[in-house]
Amino acid sequence: MAKKNKNPLHTSRRTFFKQSAVLAAVAVTPSTVLEAAENRTFDKAAYALEQVPITLSINGKVQKVMVEPRVTLLDLLREQLGLTGTKKGCDHGQCGACTIHIDGRRVNSCLTLAIMQEGREITTIEGLANGEELHPMQAAFIKHDGLQCGYCTPGQIMSAVACVNEGHTNNDFEIREFMSGNLCRCGAYPNIVNAIKEVAQ
Amino acid sequence: MNHTNTISGDSTDRVDGRDKVTGTAKYTAEIPLPNLVYGVLVGSTIAKGVIKKIDTSAAEKAAGVISVITHKNSTKLFGLKKSKTAKKLDLGLRVFHSKDIVFNGQPIALVVADRLEQAQYAASLVKCTYEQAPHTTDFGTHLDQARPSSSKWLSDTKRGDVTAWSNAPFKVDQAYTTPQEVHNPMEMHSTTAIWEGDEKLTVYDKNHAVQDIRDTLAKALKLEKEQVVVNSEFIGGGFGSGLRVWPHTFAAIIAAKMLKRPVKVSVTRPQMFTMTGYRPATAQKVSIGATKDGKIVGIKHEAIGQTSEYEEFAESVTGITKMLYACPNLETNYKVLPLTYSTPIWMRAPGEATGSFALETAMDELAYSLNMDPVQLRKKNYAETHPDDNKPWSSNHLTECLIKAARQFDWEARKPEPRSSSDRDWWVGTGMAVGSWGAWRAPATARAVLDSKGNLLIQSATSDMGPGTSTTMVKIASDASGIPMGKIRFELGKSNLPPSPGQGGSVTVASVGSAVYDICTEIKQKLLDIAVETLGETYKEAKIEDVFLINGKMGIKGKPASLVTFADLMEKKNITEVEATKTSSSGEEGGKYAFYSFGAHFAEVYVHKYTGAVRVTRFVSCVDAGRIMNNKTASSQISGAVVMGIGMALMEEQHMDHQHGRLVANDFAGYHIPVQADVPNIEVIFVDKADPYLNKMGAKGLGEIGLIGAAAAIGNAVFHATGKRVRNLPITPDKLI
Ligand code: FES
Ligand code: FES
């Protein structure tokens, strides 16, 4: 799903090298740093020690980021990269609000660690439209009013696009079954089915 | 009221649809702020007692941690210092101001760190010991301890001979229960607090009543209203949970004040069950007596609702029984039962949702005992006027709702005998119920600015938690002014905009819509005044009713030569925009009529013969909500409420471990809300007739009515399918096999 990368190693490269330099420095003096961390005198240094560099493509853009191993892909997107289109509805893999595509497959980004995504192509809701032109699924959601508060919507749309690609749209029942991992408390379900049906045709 | 009825009602796409489908809409927790740090709340692990010792040392040492705030070191807020003040100002839990524990999961510490993960991990390191006291959490076994509600706005009713029901030849006398339900909007609650010195506070807070929240915060902090700004532009659902200030909001405010930097506190999904309110459980008894031909002679409706030990929450569970049917003899009674648990809050159709389940199930039982069609029974007992005070209805199209929904559903074809229809391994049944909800209107103010290019900006401090308020307001403004929707922007969700009621009780369209409608007339009037003053003859005699706006021009009907551009008009006065602010409220009609929305629901269910699984396979709702402003969003709102009704009927229930006084399975794996596969196609029909008195648009409220009676309709269908009457929600398979 991800668009081809046009500009690999974009702007984050310099920050990355800066941070790598910090890492390299702490690598040769681990005991000092650990001590500093213990005393909380060099929080930042201690923090850098826990960071791991990863490279991943997000919406067609190769990004090098530093993450702690415990950071979920969802929190990396939302809190570190400012890609807040992907929503957090439970943080437990129970609601689908955080659905994104990894190498074209739909995944709950709250249930996967960022560090596991080295080299992968991530597509989020922000990367679905082609510039100003909405993806047909986005347009269909507006047309069929497949949303109310809009909070589950990015996850629904990412799931819906994958659902169509998977071929699970042969009838209403199948669509409902394969879209049941995406909760909508506003209850926009029937309209979501109508939107998916239109795009699937 | 001079009812003008000019809103076209046809379907319009959401004006914020694009922002929502592209992920650019910024919800509360998503506002980028410099220097922001993260707070994570730690909950108590006992239900009742006092904190003996709270050890935060390990958490404080953890990487990235900036501070751990507890009752020991918290800055004290004026309103929370004394429990008397907190009560008086209605502030709820005195978070970090007392060592008392009043419910399990009560926030006892806030860990603030540079990053979310750091705060989450460090929160797990906070250790607390308690002195425990006995708790009471079991609603069902303590009903005898219920006490009268002290609510000023709820009253018990006695009408005529209260024993009449028991002497009637046909009667129903049954008990019903509904469990604790949780709003669970998909967006979790979150507050980011930013102080500028000690004098100015800005919060980004998920709520749907920005000015109520601002007023409460101002009182709690002893600040002027102007010193507090509350923003909540995009809201990921609420259904009532955003109608008050919750502990996490105070926690964020305290932390931001102590640390002198912005702090964001988001509650987790499990915390959404304990910290941001819920629908209280109820236990009800309904007794109805009727004559042989189905005329109701008397009703008695008693209800007990759950509340907390530290506050009273009361809702109008028996309210619907007082007005829905003509009935000369009536008794209603409502009590509250305090439990060692957090305080409930309004949840969509508060009171009526649970009250209607009992009343409308009892009506179905009465229909069966009379051997009468349940639709007929409702029609027979239609109230020509409000039964309490005989006030005329402003409009009441309940009978039309019944006729239209029954026709669409093909109710005629139904065989009334229970267990008379099956399809393979499934029993098939159909059922119906009706509902009503008061149609209110509160004063609301709107400000409008029209620029010389014809762009119209309208502002009001209302909210849009999902119904499509922005869209509806833009549409009303467009229809009222003649300016195309694309040129109108509606700004909401900020407390410093012109006053508006919070989004609750289905009041938004009737209230804010009226203000928007009126401000458009006002803008027209201002343009007309300029024309009269500067254009001489042409406009001298012009009446406001004859003036129209089109394509950036104003004109008088039937006088093409009168057309003048806004730009030319404004230039004459040497201005670049025309601005007006106006407050709208209901006139004297308010006291003369009884205002209500009405609805009729018809459901078909399949119940599996061997597993007891229930599937809703068809649903038709017909609603009288006055004139419909935008069919598209209105239908979505009703069908969304029906989805919540499916949840209420079949699955939603909060479980409690009474030994520890603690919730169990408080997440989406344990608390089920309907998923896509649980929901059939839902057909929504509107009567779409203007209410002549509530406001100029003829609109009544829509937000709650789709839910009221929905669960009863499903329960009645289950009875028809299986012959089993389940009076205790939710209707889970174990109750059917
Ligand atoms: S936030 Fe990932 S499934 Fe709910
Ligand atoms: S649109 Fe509100 S949760 Fe789906």
Domain end: A106, A127, A148, which one?
A127
A97 C-alpha to ligand 1 centroid (Å): 5
Q: What is the mean pLDDT of residues B675-688?
A: 97
Can you list the alpha helix ranges (DSSP code H) found in B417-468?
none
Residue A104 lies in a domain: yes
- The shortest CB-CB distance from B237 to any of A46, A125, A186 is to A186
Q: Which CATH number characterizes residue A159's domain?
A: 1.10.150.120
- In this model, does residue B6 exceed pLDDT 60? no
Peptide bond into B416 cis (omega under 30): no
pLDDT > 70 fraction of chain B, expressed in percent and rounded: 99
**Interface test mutation site (partner A, options B60, B186, B642, B668, max chain A beta carbons within 10 A):** B186
Q: Please, what sign has the CA dihedral across residues B720, B724, B729, B730?
A: negative
What tokens appear for A112 in the block? 């996967």
- In this model, does residue A33 exceed pLDDT 80? no
Residue B657 lies in a domain: yes
The domain of B112 spans 31-134+186-237+242-275
CA dist B585 and B443 (Å) reads 4
pLDDT band at B547 (very low <50, low <70, confident <90, very high): very high
- Sequence-separated (6 or more) residues with CB below 8 Å from residue B551: B454
- Is-contact B12 B490, C-beta < 8 A? no
pTM of the predicted model as reported, rounded to 2 decimal places: 0.94
Task: Ligand 2, residue A147: give the atom nearest the CA.
Answer: 1
Q: Are A34 and A22 members of one domain?
A: yes
DSSP B62-129: STTEEEEE-TTTPPPPHHHHSHHHHHHTT--S-TTS-SEE-STT-EEEEEEESSHHHHHHHHTT-EEE
Task: Please report the pLDDT score of residue B8 as a whole number.
Answer: 61
- In this model, does residue B2 exceed pLDDT 60? no
Q: Are B411 and B452 members of one domain?
A: no
Domain end: B585, B605, B629, which one?
B585
What tokens appear for B568 in the block? 């030319």
Question: Taking Cα atoms as reference points, which of B396, B398, B397, B399 lies closest to residue B385?
Answer: B396
Q: Are B573 and B472 members of one domain?
A: yes
Residue A5 lies in a domain: no
Q: Per-residue pLDDT tens for B556-569? A: 999 988 999 999 99
- Is-contact B30 A97, C-beta < 8 A? no
Q: Please give the tally of structural domains in chain A.
A: 3
- Sequence-separated (6 or more) residues with CB below 8 Å from residue A13: A64
Q: What is the mean pLDDT of residues B279-290?
A: 98
Q: Are B103 and B223 members of one domain?
A: yes
Domain end: B585, B602, B629, which one?
B585
Q: Are B37 and B125 members of one domain?
A: yes
Q: Are A69 and A122 members of one domain?
A: yes
Asked if A152's CB is within 8 angstroms of B17's CB, the reply is no
Q: Are B515 and B549 members of one domain?
A: yes
Residue A165 lies in a domain: yes
- What letters, b where the CB count within 10 A reaches 16 and e where it falls short, cover A19-42? beebeeebeeeeeebeebbeeeeb
Q: Which CATH number characterizes residue A114's domain?
A: 3.10.20.30
Question: Taking Cα atoms as reference points, which of B63, B149, B296 lies closest to residue A40?
Answer: B63
- In this model, does residue A21 exceed pLDDT 70? no
Q: Which residues line ligand 2 (CB under 6 A)?
A: A 147-153, 184-186, 188; B 186, 237, 466
Q: What is the mean pLDDT of residues B670-676?
A: 98
For B184-321, where are the E strands, in sequence order?
A: 190-196, 200-205, 228-231, 263-266, 282-290, 296-308
Strands B107-113, A99-102: pairing kind: unpaired
Ranges A78-82, A150-154, B87-91, B537-541: which has the least confidence? B537-541
How far apart, in Å, are the Cα atoms of B189 and each of A12, A46, A60, A200, B277? 32, 32, 32, 35, 11
CA dist B311 and B92 (Å) reads 7
- Is-contact B458 B620, C-beta < 8 A? no
How far apart, in Å, are the Cα atoms of B513 and each of B127, B212, B395, B469, B600? 51, 19, 19, 9, 25
Q: Please give the tally of structural domains in chain B.
A: 3
Q: Are B58 and B191 members of one domain?
A: yes
Q: Per-residue pLDDT tens for B72-118? A: 999 999 999 999 999 999 999 999 999 999 999 999 999 999 999 99
Residue A10 lies in a domain: no
Q: Are B97 and B85 members of one domain?
A: yes
Task: Please report the pLDDT score of residue A47 as a whole number.
Answer: 62
pLDDT band at A32 (very low <50, low <70, confident <90, very high): low
Paired strand residues for B604: B430, B618
Can you list the alpha helix ranges (DSSP code H) found in B440-595?
469-481, 508-535, 537-540, 566-572, 589-592
Task: Please report the pLDDT score of residue B213 as a whole number.
Answer: 97
Q: Are A159 and A191 members of one domain?
A: yes
Mean pLDDT of all residues belonging to chain B: 96
Q: Are A21 and A87 members of one domain?
A: no
The residue count for chain B? 737
Q: Are A60 and A36 members of one domain?
A: no
> What is the count of residue pairs from A and B with beta carbons less than 8 Å apart?
187
pLDDT band at A7 (very low <50, low <70, confident <90, very high): very low
pLDDT band at A2 (very low <50, low <70, confident <90, very high): very low
How far apart, in Å, are the Cα atoms of A44 and each of A73, B120, B456? 22, 18, 50
What are the helix and strand counts (H, E) for chain A? 8, 5
Question: Taking Cα atoms as reference points, which of B353, B259, B261 lies closest to residue B303?
Answer: B353
- In this model, does residue B446 exceed pLDDT 60? yes
pLDDT > 90 fraction of chain B, expressed in percent and rounded: 93
Residue B208: other Cβ atoms inside 10 A: 27
Q: Are B61 and B190 members of one domain?
A: yes
Q: Per-residue pLDDT tens for B24-52? A: 999 999 999 999 999 999 999 999 999 99
CA dist B290 and B702 (Å) reads 32
Q: Chain A within 8 Å of B438 (Cβ-Cβ)? A: no
Q: What is the mean pLDDT of residues B280-294?
A: 98
- Is-contact B318 B326, C-beta < 8 A? no
Q: Are A142 and A75 members of one domain?
A: no
Q: What is the mean pLDDT of residues B399-409?
A: 98
Q: Chain B within 8 Å of A67 (Cβ-Cβ)? A: no
Mutate which of A72, A77, A90 for ligand 1 pocket (most atoms within 8 A of beta carbon): A90
Q: Are A56 and A108 members of one domain?
A: yes
- Which of B:160-199 have CB within 8 Å of A? 183-188
- The shortest CB-CB distance from A148 to any of B116, B466, B682 is to B466
How far apart, in Å, are the Cα atoms of B214 and each of B201, B223, B392, B610? 10, 10, 38, 54
Q: Are A43 and A71 members of one domain?
A: no
Residue A4 lies in a domain: no
Q: Return the amino acid letter for B513.
A: G
How far apart, in Å, are the Cα atoms of B48 and each of B146, B351, B439? 20, 28, 41
Say how far residue B150 (Cα) sits from the centre of its chain: 23
Q: Per-residue pLDDT tens for B328-377? A: 999 999 999 999 999 999 999 999 999 999 999 999 999 999 999 999 99
Task: Please report the pLDDT score of residue B78 as a whole number.
Answer: 98
Residue B215 lies in a domain: yes
Residue B296 lies in a domain: no
Task: Please report the pLDDT score of residue B1 as a whole number.
Answer: 42
Q: What is the mean pLDDT of residues B487-514?
A: 92
Residue B496 lies in a domain: yes
Q: Per-residue pLDDT tens for B628-639? A: 999 999 999 999
Say how far residue B494 (Cα) sits from the centre of its chain: 19
Q: Per-residue pLDDT tens for B293-311? A: 999 999 999 999 999 999 9
- The shortest CB-CB distance from B677 to any of A37, A180, A191 is to A180
Q: What is the mean pLDDT of residues A157-161?
A: 98
CA dist B467 and B455 (Å) reads 25
Q: Are B91 and B8 members of one domain?
A: no
Half-sphere exposure of B594 (CA within 13 A, CB side): 18
Q: Which CATH number characterizes residue B17's domain?
A: 3.30.365.10
SS3 letters across B37-65: EEEEEEECCCCCEEEEEEECHHHHHCCCE
Q: Are A77 and A115 members of one domain?
A: yes
Q: Which residues line ligand 1 (CB under 6 A)?
A: A 88-91, 93-98, 108, 110
Q: Chain B within 8 Å of A150 (Cβ-Cβ)? A: yes
The ipTM, to two decimals, is 0.96
Quick one: angle between helices B710-722 and B352-370, nearest 10? 30
Q: Are B736 and B627 members of one domain?
A: yes
Asked if B676's CB is within 8 angstroms of A193's CB, the reply is yes
Domain end: A96, A127, A158, which one?
A127
Q: Are A57 and A116 members of one domain?
A: yes
**Quick check: helix, strand or coil at residue B297?**
strand
Residue B280 lies in a domain: no
pLDDT band at A49 (very low <50, low <70, confident <90, very high): low
Of B586 and B21, the structure prediction assigns the larger pLDDT to: B21
CA dist B487 and B583 (Å) reads 23
Q: Are B622 and B522 members of one domain?
A: no
Residue B460 lies in a domain: yes
- Which of A:80-109 have CB within 8 Å of B? 82-92, 94-95, 97
pLDDT band at B574 (very low <50, low <70, confident <90, very high): very high
Q: Are B560 and B688 members of one domain?
A: no
Domain end: B585, B615, B642, which one?
B585
Q: Are A118 and A63 members of one domain?
A: yes
Q: What is the mean pLDDT of residues A108-135?
A: 97
Residue A6 lies in a domain: no
Q: Are A122 and A59 members of one domain?
A: yes
Task: Please report the pLDDT score of residue B546 as a whole number.
Answer: 92
- In this model, does residue B135 exceed pLDDT 80? yes
**Contact list, A187 vs chain B (CB under 8 Å):** 639-644, 674, 679
Q: Chain B within 8 Å of A39 (Cβ-Cβ)? A: no
What tokens appear for A140 in the block? 């269909």
The domain of A168 spans 136-200
Residue B117 annotated in active site: no
Q: Chain B within 8 Å of A52 (Cβ-Cβ)? A: no
Query: Which 8-state DSSP code applies to residue B218?
Result: H
